[in-house]
Amino acid sequence: MAVADTVTALDTTGRAGGPAKATGADAPEARVFQLVRAAAHAADCQTAVFYQGSGPDFEAVAGFGTAGPPGVLRFGGAPDDADAEDALAAAAAASLAGGGSLPFIAAARVAHDEGSGNGAMRGVLVVADTRAARTGLSAAQFYVLRAHAAQLAALIELQELRRVASAALAGAERLRLLESVAVHANDAILITEAEPIDLPGPRILYCNAAFTRTTGYTESEILGRTPRLLQGPGTDRAALDKLRGALARWEPVVVELLNYRKDGGTFWVELSIVPVADETGWFTHWVSVQRDVSDRKTAEEAATRARVAEAEREALQAEIKERRRVEERQTLLTRELDHRAKNALAVVQAALRLTPREDAEAFARAVEGRVSALSRAHTLLAEGRWDGAELGALAEGELAPFLAGGAGDGPRAELRGPPVSLAPGAAQALSMALHELATNAVKHGALSVPGGRVSLGWSADEAAGLLRLRWAEAGGPLLSNPPTRRGFGSRVLEATLRVQLGGTVVRSWEAPGLVCEAALPLPRVLAGSAAAADDLP
């Protein structure tokens, strides 16, 4: 957007005259333009306009950064009301935007003795920005805008009285006008020299009553010293570096600092600082506004402590909950271990009770074989975390020596069946039953002679709700008649498959060899079933 700096002749009647050309830095029109430009810089805005008049219409007499001559500001309210500045700003936005919109605009009444809020209306000083929207002016920028407005009122007053102040008097008048705005403020305000920025720093020329109340220093104790006397060991170095960089660039700045009172006590301030320039554009003073934000910082710190305490409480509760879960798990595991140990001992006890004792050596071998079968079942269950054991893996463990086959001879055992996961109790019972069938085949059946073979097949009959198993031997010794005596193996099959698992067992001695068929209820044998058998009787 092309910008234009405009200035028109001042009219002591309160209206703007025709265009005029400034004849020098001391000409009233030039001084007005310098003040308007300084207001734009202090407010960090692209545009500033001074509208002269007493209302309801105000004529633009000086503009900085405007896209052409500003129009007329028409205001329908009471401009002498000190609270009308927001409405004046809205009216100025209509004048400057030309039907468009401005992201930010602020206005200050130009009135003689504006510090009291009762001065006669002379015009309106407006600052505006076409960049991104912002929340408003900082406290220091607000006070400096008021000071520039007061200076414009003084220039009009001087023009009316046709007095031209000397440069020294103009500087003194500038400081007096800055003080006139600050004296009525509730915030602590300092006015310092513009330089030096480096040590020892700019000297304090003025402090208001709010500053002395806040810090505990008297006016005589503070004048001539630098604002650094308010800093201490707890003042944030990063915030001070930010402040120093802005001062070196002659830019407005807002920081939060921890300051120190005369008695050593601390308080938090939101510090806003703005440079003030004279009519020639030379920076002559810094205006510093210190707004006490100790209550807000205390509330923030309390909220932070509360959040930390809540997080610690939640972490402690989570730790206690986890410890309880671990303890409950350990208790459960202890009970389960006790249960499994008793179950294993019961199986061993049953094996000992059922094993014939006539031959000590045979007794020892029989017991060892049955305990080994139980051990293999327990190993499979442990690998499955006692959730279950695969029937195929259980059968492979019992018939492993006969599955691979020997030299010149093929496998002597065959397994056929789908994957079936057995409950722990069913796995123990079937391991004992398969062990007895395999032992009997090795001693008396098909595996006792070369060329003999056994096959084990199983299937899940979902319709009947049964797990069906078939053990068949072939190629063993010829049987002339079925056994007439019920042996130990038969008693083990009855105890495990029928009594414990609730199934049926049918044995037949056919010409090729023994055939044993069992039908077991699926709910009693499948892993995960609530009715699954878990103990031997």
- Rounded CA gap, 318 and 321, in Å? 5
Q: Is the pTM of this model over 0.75?
A: no
pLDDT digit string, tens, across residues 452-473: 899 999 999 999 999 999 999 9
Q: What values do phi and psi take at 61, rounded to 5?
A: -115, -15
pLDDT at 63: 87
Q: Which of 179, 209, 229 is the last residue of a domain?
A: 179
* Element containing residue 277 per DSSP (H, E): strand 266-277
Residue 314 lies in a domain: no
Phi-psi bin for 466: left (phi > 0), alpha (psi -120 to 50), beta? beta
Listed residue (38, 14, 17) closest to 111, CA to CA: 14
Q: Count of CB atoms within 10 A of residue 383's CB? A: 12
Same domain, 287 and 161: no
First to last CA, the chain: 98
In a domain, 347, yes or no: no
How far is Cα 7 from Cα 444, in angstroms, rounded to an integer? 126
Which of 144, 179, 214 delimits the end of a domain?
179
Any domain includes 531: no
pLDDT confidence of residue 467? 94
Picking from 292, 312, 327, the residue at the C-terminal end of a domain is 292
Report yes or no on 482 lying in a domain.
yes
Instruction: Provide the pLDDT for residue 457.
Output: 94
If asked whether residues 260 and 406 sit together in one domain, one would say: no
3-state class (DSSP) for residue 481: coil
Residue carrying structure tokens 């006669």: 120
Q: Do 207 and 235 belong together in one domain? A: yes
Number of domains, the chain: 3
Phi and psi of 408, rounded to 5°? 75, 10
Rg (CA), the chain: 51
Q: Decide: 63 and 52 in contact? Cβ < 8 Å.
A: no
Return the sign of the alpha-carbon dihedral for residues 81, 83, 85, 90. negative
Strand partners, 415: 456
pLDDT of amino acid 532: 57
**pLDDT for the residue 450:** 86
Q: Does one domain contain both 167 and 217?
A: no
Mean pLDDT of 323-333: 81
> Residue 405 — left, alpha, or beta (φ > 0 → left; ψ -120 to 50 → alpha)?
left
Gap between the Cα atoms of 498 and 429, Å rounded: 10
Any idea what the Cα angle at residue 35 is, between residues 207 and 282, rounded to 5°? 70
Q: Which token pair is 282?
A: 């030379």
Of 300 and 99, the structure prediction assigns the larger pLDDT to 300
With 60 as the cut, is the pLDDT of residue 398 above it?
yes
* Backbone torsion region of residue 113, taken as left when φ is above 0, otherwise alpha when ψ lies between -120 and 50, otherwise beta: left
Range(s) of the domain holding residue 96: 1-179
- To the nearest 10 degrees (0 to 180), the angle between helices 424-443 and 294-354 is 30
Q: What is the band of 20 on the pLDDT scale with cuts at 50, 70, 90? A: very low
Q: Do 140 and 212 belong to one domain?
A: no
* SS3 of 291-306: EECHHHHHHHHHHHHH
Q: In angstroms, rounded to a whole number, what is the distance separating the alpha carbons of residues 530 and 429?
A: 17
Residue 535's pLDDT is 46
Phi, psi of 129 (to 5 degrees): -140, 130
Average of per-residue pLDDT across 225-249: 86
* 8 Å CB contact between 509 and 442: no
Instruction: Specify the range with the lowest mean pLDDT, choosing from 297-306, 333-342, 432-441, 490-499.
Output: 333-342
Q: What is the pLDDT of residues 166-180, one digit of tens each?
A: 444 455 555 555 555
Residue at 408: amino acid letter: G
CATH of the domain at 249: 3.30.450.20
Could you tell me the pLDDT band of residue 394, with boundaries at 50, 70 and 90?
A: confident
Same domain, 132 and 7: yes
Q: Is the domain of 122 the same as that of 210? A: no
The per-residue pLDDT for range 129-172, each reduced to its tens digit, is: 888 778 888 888 888 888 888 888 888 877 766 543 444 445 55
Domain with 31 in it: what CATH number? 3.30.450.40
CATH number at residue 498: 3.30.565.10
Residue-by-residue DSSP string for 323-377: HHHHHHHHHHHHHHHHHHHHHHHHHHHHHHHHS--SSHHHHHHHHHHHHHHHHHH
Does 479 score more than 60 pLDDT? yes
Burial degree of 242 (CB within 10 A; 0-12, 13-18, 19+): middle
- Interval 102-137: pLDDT, tens: 788 888 888 866 554 556 778 889 998 888 778 888
The verdict on 272 and 377 lying in the same domain is: no
| Residue 236 domain flag | yes
The CA distances from residue 426 to 75, 119, 218, 394, in Å, are: 97, 103, 95, 11
Using an 8 Å Cβ cutoff, are 215 and 261 in contact?
A: yes
**Pair (277, 386) in one structural domain:** no
DSSP SS3 for 517: strand
Region for residue 307 given its phi and psi (left: phi exceeds 0; alpha: psi -120 to 50; beta: otherwise): alpha
HSE-CB for 300 with a 13 A CA cutoff: 6
Tens of pLDDT, residue by residue over 255-308, are: 888 889 999 999 888 888 888 877 677 888 888 888 888 888 888 888 888 899
298-310 pLDDT, tens digit per residue, is: 888 888 888 998 8
Residue that wins the pLDDT comparison between 260 and 397: 260
Q: How many angstroms separate the CA atoms of 219 and 278, rounded?
A: 26
Please report the pLDDT score of residue 417 as a whole number.
93
Which amino acid is located at 330 in the chain?
Q
Question: What percent of the chain has a predicted confidence (pLDDT) above 70?
Answer: 71
Contact 429, 496 (CB under 8 A): yes
Judgement on whether residues 405 and 504 belong to the same structural domain of the protein:
yes
Whether 238 maps to a domain, the answer reads yes
Q: Which helix (H) or strand (E) holds 414?
A: strand 413-416
Whether 534 is covered by a domain: the verdict is no
195 vs 282: CA distance, rounded Å? 12
What is residue 195's predicted lDDT score, i.e. its pLDDT? 83
Percent of the chain, pLDDT > 90? 9
Pair 175, 192 in one domain: no
Of 117-131, 349-363, 398-412, where does mean pLDDT reach its minimum? 349-363
Residue of 38, 59, 64, 34 whose CA lies nearest to 49: 64
Lowest mean pLDDT among 218-227, 235-244, 347-356, 469-478: 347-356
Please indicate, yes or no, whether residues 112 and 130 belong to a single structural domain of this protein.
Answer: yes
Please check whether residue 533 lies inside any domain of the structure.
Answer: no
